[in-house]
Amino acid sequence: MGASSVAVNQLAKHFKVPEREAGLKASAQALFNRKHRLVKAVDEISFTVEPGEVVGFLGPNGAGKTTTLKMLSGLLHPSSGELSVLGFEPRQRNHDFLRQITLVMGNRNQLAWDLPPADSFELNRAVYGIERKRFQKVLDEFVNLLEVNDLIQKPVRNLSLGERMKMEIIGSLLHTPKVLFLDEPTIGLDVTMQRRIRRFVAEYNERYGATVLLTSHYMADVEALCKRVIVIHHGKLLYDGGLSGLVERFSAYKKISVTLRERDADISGFGEVLHRDGARVTLRIAKSDTSKITARLLSEYQADDLTVEDPPVEDVIEQVFSGTEQP
Amino acid sequence: MKISILVEFQYHVANYFYMIGMIAEPVIYLVVWSTVANAQGGEVGGYTPGAFAAYYIVWTLVRNMNIVFTPYGWEGYIQRGQLSGELLRPIHPLHNHISFFAGWKVVVIVLWLPLAVALTLIFKPTLDDITFLEVVVFFFAIWGAYLIRTMLLSLLGMITFWTTRVSAIYEMFFAVELILSGRLVPMSLMPEWVQRIADFLPFQWTFGYPIESLVGRLTTTELFSGLGMQLLWIVITTTMVSVVWKFGIRRFSAVGN
Amino acid sequence: MNRIIKLIATYLRIGIMNEMQYRINFFIQLLQSLVALGTGLVGLALVFDHTTELGGWSRPELLAVMGVHILMGGVIRAAIQPNMQTLASNIQEGTLDFALTKPVDSQVIVSVREFRLWQVVDVLMGLSVLGWAVNELQGQIGLGEAVIFAVMLLLGGIMIYCFWLMLTSSAFWIIRVYEMINLFEGLYAAGRWPVGIYPGWLRSMLTFLVPVAFAVTVPSEILVGRIDVLTLVGAFALTAGLVIAARFIWKLGLRNYSGASA
């Protein structure tokens, strides 16, 4: 356990969900005889995160990502397993523990709706007991980084979604926590705003050496920020490692893009034709056949250009989640 | 109507919570006036504690029948486009509301019965001289009350077509209604001049009259003339509603939400 | 402790700033309070049209009760009820999380974060009615009595807060508690009259179940000169008991919310 920021061992969370059908009769029955179904939201996952690491959690809706984050921040008690964050047991909700973490949820607001963010920030200062000088310094730093100087006095309800998210993040980092739990922080934002937020998180991580655990749907978030990725599906940990390794591991396919001299050559015999654009054809082939097919192609046809690529990570992930790829 | 009954049964617990909170009001009045009656030698204004008990227990049902779509809800109703949606349907929007709430009233009546029994056991009302005729008249009277009050509150709500600064008007209305309808006290306990004013207003026909038709000492003439007055007020208020509605919709269509 | 006081001050400031933006609400509140006062006075006048005293209380004495009732009502609607309502929706919508990830006791956060400034109109109105009643009574209100009165008000307020917290905490187990406001308002309305007039079982409910008696009747009794040492001691004891019980239920509810196995 020692120096790691986050250590999770065989963590599990089960929910008993009542089952009920629609209709008057069923409602009456439900009064007396409740049927329950056991849902394993998190099913014995284990991993360790070192200080300063930025880890991305990938998984479809309902995979267990948010549940895991909630357990790590002390909001949910695990059904079984051990977990420790910064040496604390999160569910004790020790005040010293809470002072060093922060939880940001992309679709939920903490800031007071009718007041300028500046007032909510003051509130956070009081809640976390941040010393005035330090608070001002950190605030100025963040406000400058995100270029929102002229917005902090505008009521939150008058800000755009992206601006609001910037404020939410600032507010949640004012106490310079060591561990950040970010749950879908860029959800619903436009591409530019997503990049700004990502850059900001990266900056914070660099300047303060904070550990970041981030969940997202967007591959771009993960690709931009995280060197390490944990894939969760149906509550189980499918993969824990680098992003490139993910493709390696999960994809059984490669893409070959070739520009042929012969314009109408039919090379569909070599593999699945994904795309045809004049002389440029894109094929999908089994990974294991890569050298064989490349060699054959080049020997039988004249090519101006040939590229062998991994399928985009999105496709791989999508196939993992829809079950067509096996880990 | 069937749909609203289904919906309401699911929230039976919440309904009871709400009803218990609601019976506090008549119980308070009952206790206060029984105390006064006892201090004055057993009765005040012609009412003994037993008579007060009867009055206020029936009060609870009549109160429930009186609860209709709040005029405060009209603002949201108009602005949130619900009205627009309903105008597209071939039924007059108010029909929808009246039936929906009427459905709920049936549930309310059913849920009220055990409550009434409990209250009867606790407060021992004098119920000896209730005739079958009175029960029948009462049944009609409570629906008459429901209709009149629906119309009255719709009128209030429609003010929202012209302005949203309505809370002052509403508050004054409710305060006056509280005093002049028989909700606060049986009308006969009010000073003469107040009773005179109340005679010109529809309020007592939504509250005091239905109660008294069952547990009061009304003569047969009074019973039927009461129903007649209710009918009269239903006609008056419905006419007003249609007229105001026409003007309101015209304005709504001109202005939009 | 110092930090908590500063935190409360910050919440208060923010709450006031929030409300100041809607100055129209002041006038709406003023109107509502005046209408409520009006109907209350009408009720009182009606009663005294037919009698000279109610349950041993004279007219100015009942006026004093009304004053305390309005005052306390203002305090409840300004500081207690808004917090509890927000808490109830937090629990039901699962948005309590943010209150739980702060390094401050969660019970404190959920109890002090909201403040409805304009309800203070009722506090002022209640004090005015009280002043009028005391004047009519022509009694002497000594400093000692005033202090005890204030202390009893404070204890009453704390008791009401504990009741509200326990009621709201039931949301941890049952889903629909929105109607609890109706329940409370109904029972609190009973406090406009001295609880002595109610039948025994109701009086007990209004004393021990919903501590309206201690919030309104008891302080009024002190003001009109009916101090009873036993009642005072009882008030302290009940307050202490309720504070402990409320805290216990709160913690139990939190554990349930966090999915801790019992």
Instruction: Measure CB to CB from residue C97 to each of A13, A75, A128 and give the nearest one.
Output: A75
CA–CA separation, B16 vs B24, rounded Å?
13
Q: Tell me which amino acid residue A233 is.
A: H
Burial class (CB in 10 A: 0-12, 13-18, 19+), A193: middle
pLDDT tens digits, one per residue of A212-251: 999 987 778 888 888 899 988 888 888 888 887 877 777 7
Instruction: Measure CB to CB from residue B168 to each of C31, C46, C178 and give the nearest one.
Output: C31
pLDDT tens digits, one per residue of B193-227: 999 999 889 999 999 999 988 888 888 888 888 99
Encode burial over C89-100: b for 16+ CB neighbours within 10 A, e otherwise: ebbbeeebbbbb
Encode burial over A290-324: b for 16+ CB neighbours within 10 A, e otherwise: eeebbeebeeeeebeeeeeebbebebbbebbbeee
Q: Tell me what the pLDDT averaged over chain B comes to.
A: 83
Classify A14 as helix, strand or coil. strand
Beta-bridged to residue A6, according to DSSP, are A49, A85
Classify A237 as helix, strand or coil. strand
More confident residue, B40 or A218: B40
* Residue C31 with chain B: CB contacts under 8 Å: 167-168, 171
Give residue C160's pLDDT: 94
Classify A146 as helix, strand or coil. helix
- Chain C contacts to B (CB-CB under 8 A): 28, 31-32, 35, 38-39, 42-43, 46-47, 49-51, 53-55, 174, 176-187, 189-190, 192-193, 197-199, 202
A 10 A CB-CB count for B3 gives 10
DSSP string covering C183-238, please? Answer: HHHHHHHGGGS-GGGS-HHHHHIIIIISTHIIIIIHHHHHHTT---HHHHHHHHHH
Closest to C88 measured CA to CA, from C163, C167, C147: C167
More confident residue, A24 or A131: A131
Q: Residues B61, B26: contact at Cβ < 8 Å? A: no
Work out the angle at residue C190's Cα, subtended by the Cα atoms of residues C188 and C191, and round it to the nearest 5 degrees.
Answer: 70
Grade residue B162 by pLDDT with cuts at 50, 70 and 90. Answer: confident
Q: Is C102 on the interface with A (CB under 8 A)?
A: yes
- Decide if C101 and A112 are in contact by the 8 Å CB cutoff: no
Give residue A212's pLDDT: 94
Give residue B255's pLDDT: 62
Q: How many CB pairs under 8 A join B and C?
A: 92
The answer for residues whose C-beta is within 8 angstroms of residue A258's C-beta and 6 or more apart is A267, A280, A281, A282, A283, A297, A301, A303, A305, A306, A307
Give yes or no for residue B71 having a pLDDT over 80: yes
Rg (CA), chain B: 19
Give residue C79's pLDDT: 94
Helix-strand-coil split of chain A, %, nearest 5: 40, 30, 30
Instruction: Measure CB to CB from residue B35 to each of C55, C185, C186 and give the nearest one.
Output: C55
pLDDT tens digits, one per residue of A141-200: 999 999 999 998 999 989 988 899 999 999 999 999 999 999 988 888 888 888 999 999
Q: Where are the beta strands (DSSP E) in B98-213?
A: none
Q: How many CB pairs under 8 A join A and C?
A: 68
Instruction: Measure CB to CB from residue C179 to each of B17, B174, B184 and give the nearest one.
Output: B17
Q: Is C251 on the interface with A (CB under 8 A)?
A: no
CA–CA separation, A95 vs B230, rounded Å?
66
Residues A98-103, mean pLDDT to the nearest whole number: 93
Give yes or no for residue A314 having a pLDDT over 90: no
Give residue A27's pLDDT: 61
- Decide if C100 and A91 are in contact by the 8 Å CB cutoff: no
For the entire predicted model, the pTM comes to 0.81
Mean per-residue pLDDT pooled into runs of 10, chain C (262 residues): 88 89 87 92 90 88 93 94 91 85 92 92 93 81 84 93 92 73 84 89 85 90 84 91 95 85 46
- Decide if C43 and B184 are in contact by the 8 Å CB cutoff: yes
Give yes or no for residue A1 having a pLDDT over 50: no
